[in-house]
Copies of this chain bind each other. A is one copy, B any other.
Amino acid sequence: MNNTRYSSAGLIIRQREPKNLETPFDRIDSYLTPTALFYIRSHFPRPTLDRASYQLRIDGAVRHPFALNYEQLRNMPSETRVATLECAGNSRVFLVPQVQGAQWELGAAGNAEWTGVPLRALLERAGLADDACEIVLEGADRGAPKEEPRPPNPISYVWSLPRAKAIQPEVLIAYQMNGQDLPLDHGFPVRAIVPGHYGMASVKWLTRIEAVRDPFHGYWQTTDYAYWALTNGKPVRRALGEMKLKSEIARPRIYETLVPNRIYTVSGAAWAGESDVTEIQVSTDGGLAWAEAEFLDPVRRHAWRRWKFDWLTPKEPGQYTLLARAKDASGAFQPYDHDQAYGGYAINHCLSIEVFIEGSG
């Protein structure tokens, strides 16, 4: 039953339609996640956009609204950046008791190279109004969302960025991923890439960029990708944004069985939102003792850093708990426990990876 090695090993299905597919994270071997292995997160059935008729409108609180076709966008000066995307619900399966939603393990995260036009350049060309406070990104994907309270009619997938983030140079209106045209499931022909923010901000199948003068309180910002934050002691509904500091153990895989008394290279990747990952520590005894891991990749803002740690596995058979924790440039570590305020999102606590050391039997 052997086969020659092929280019992709396939994705884990979390939901079949719309497609929500996860990278088998233990197969991550490269700095850039191969496109075919990159996780797919969809809210609605995939829209079919045609390159020939594609139009991107830039309007709202701007002095010169305009539209671009695909060729015009491709002919603008472009930039290529590496950025890690993580779905805000990544690692949800680690929450006990179980929380509703796709039961992502570790692989709703990936690191790719994105090519496109900085959103800033488009906003400058349109003449962004001084009093515009948010930039609303609208995708061509539409449907009826599920969570309450929900709007009475089908809606598009829409996400708004604070102006301060939208005008940063790293935010791209992208048409390439890893040097190739965007695949259909990754937003063909054009998507937003918002490095440092959870994936919900990187709107796929992008057709409209609208500047607004009042904060946009759409379904996704208020119902779905939102949480209760305390402001002066009162809970207020707030949209998710910046990714939290996080490290993940790619290998060994959870519940994997390892050989005793042998060097096993524990490996993983770590990322942060608007900070840098400066250190990784690994524990092989459930958090009692910690040792420093070695980085495989340099610091690059908004991109992950892979790391490794050579572990001499115990001689004693049994169950062992591995943990990894990242430190950011401010000196802060990941938390030990999930912040319940976020519900099924922003799961960045140290994730326990239980493994078995096999006996002689």
Query: Smallest CB-CB separation from A180: which chain B residue?
Result: B361
In whole Å, how far is A146's beta carbon from the nearest beta carbon of chain B?
10
Whether A17 sits at the interface, judged by CB under 8 Å, is: yes
Alpha-carbon separation in the docked complex, A1 to B308 (Å):
7
Cα–Cα, bound, A103→B103 (Å): 8
Given contacts A26-B10, A103-B103, A105-B13, contact A3 B36 (CB under 8 A): no
Structural contact, A257 and B6, CB atoms closer than 8 A = yes
On whether the beta carbons of B253 and A15 are closer than 8 Å, the reply is no
Interface residue ranges of A87-134 to B (CB < 8 Å): 93-98, 102-103, 105
B6 touches A255 (CB 8 A): no
Nearest residue (CB) in B for A268 is B1
Main secondary structure of the interface of A (DSSP, over half): loop
Contact A257 B12 (CB under 8 A): no
- Chain multiplicity (copies): 2
A267 on the B face (CB < 8 A): yes
Count of residues in A whose CB is under 8 Å from the partner chain? 50
- Measured CB to CB, the closest approach of chain B to A311, in angstroms, equals 10
Q: A251 at interface (Cβ–Cβ under 8 A)? A: yes
Most central of A2, A21, A93 by chain B CB within 10 Å: A93
A325 near B: Cβ within 8 Å? Answer: no
Q: Which residue of B lies closest to A267 (CB)?
A: B1
What 0/1 readout, one digit per residue, does chain A (269-299) give for beta carbons within 8 Å of chain B? 0000000000000000000000000001000
Closest to A105 in B: B13
Q: Is A11 an interface residue (CB 8 A)?
A: yes
Is A306's beta carbon under 8 Å from chain B? yes
Stretch at the interface among A158-166, A235-243, A258-266: A258-266
Which positions in A face B, CB cutoff 8 Å? 1-4, 6-17, 21, 24, 26, 29, 36, 93-98, 102-103, 105, 180, 251-259, 262, 264-265, 267, 296, 306, 308, 356, 358, 361
Considering the complex of A and B, which 9 residue pairs feature the smallest CB-CB distances, nearest first? Answer: A10-B253, A10-B256, A8-B257, A17-B96, A36-B257, A1-B267, A13-B93, A7-B257, A13-B105
